[in-house]
Amino acid sequence: MNITLKGKTALVGGSSKGIGKAIALQLAASGASVTVMARNENDLKTVVSQMDTTQGQKHSYLLVDFSNFTSLNKVLTQFFKENTIDVLVNNTQGPEGGGALEKKVTDYQQAFDLLFKSVVLTTELALQHMQENQWGRIINVASISVKEPLNYLALSNSIRAAVVTWAKSLSVDVGKDNITVNNVLTGYFDTDRIASLNAKKAEKMGVSQEDVRGEMEARVPAGRIGNPEEYGFLVTFLASDKAAYINGINIPIDGGLLKSL
């Protein structure tokens, strides 16, 4: 099966490193012109320099801070006045870890702005062109915790669950326009985010980070942590014409970690 995104434009959030970067690189490798966005300009420039241009693609970057909704709104509104996109990958940095008893109302509000309002804003701005063009792909990077909550990620559990249910509602409304809306439920991947969470967990438990990672790997039937490149392959498929009949679903990518159906 040959997947091509030649002639398509894509916008990928949180793409200066980790999963977002892997997605951007793979979309570019499949022919899309990609705009990467995050808050570290040097990292974004590095990603742009690494993306494939052999099919005439033109890549760029957008400097945004997902944790500052007012600024994000201003930057994205200006971007969409001058640009249109066909593929939107909603992805941001995750909120701070911690259990439900550790978090206050203000923490949930901040997480809501970061994980939910930013996704709705970006999608609303992108949809106008997609509906006019009668083609579009909206892919939300979510988490397996929306199915099986992780007690040390209370903020992420709660707000990402809102994202996936909103996405299901949206998929019904825009399906007639040949626009699909899907959620990818992220398992354990080899990223800075996982390393940071593991470091905090190791400190709290009084064990080594290697022990925490080993225990994590042992829970995955595949016996390992995922490679971000594998994530990029799935998102690129969902972004293509080959996935036109896949709409409104949650797709776990977790090596078999989820126990629920």
- Which segments of the chain belong to CATH 3.40.50.720? 9-187+227-253
Predicted pLDDT at 191: 87
Predicted pLDDT at 204: 81
Are 26 and 51 in contact by the 8 Å Cβ rule? The answer is: no
Predicted pLDDT at 200: 82
For the segment 190-229, what is each residue's pLDDT rounded down to a tens digit? 988 788 878 888 888 888 889 888 899 999 999 999 999 9
For the segment 169-195, what is each residue's pLDDT rounded down to a tens digit? 999 999 999 999 999 999 999 988 788
Question: pTM of the prediction?
Answer: 0.95
For the segment 13-69, what is each residue's pLDDT rounded down to a tens digit? 999 999 999 999 999 999 999 999 999 999 999 999 999 999 999 999 999 999 999
Average pLDDT over residues 252-256: 97
| pLDDT of 150 over the 90 cut | no
The sign of the CA dihedral 112, 115, 118, 119 is negative
Return phi, psi of residue 219, to 5°. -80, -15
Does the 9-187+227-253 domain belong in CATH 1.10.8.50?
no
Q: Centre a 10 Å sphere on the Cβ of residue 106 and count the other Cβ atoms it contains.
A: 8
The DSSP code sequence of 40-84 is -HHHHHHHHHHS--TTS---EEEE--TT-HHHHHHHHHHHHHH--
For the segment 65-102, what is each residue's pLDDT rounded down to a tens digit? 999 999 999 999 999 999 999 999 999 998 888 899 99
Q: Spell 157-190 as b/e; 16+ CB within 10 A means b.
A: bbbbbbbbebbbebbeebeeebbbbbbbbbbbbb
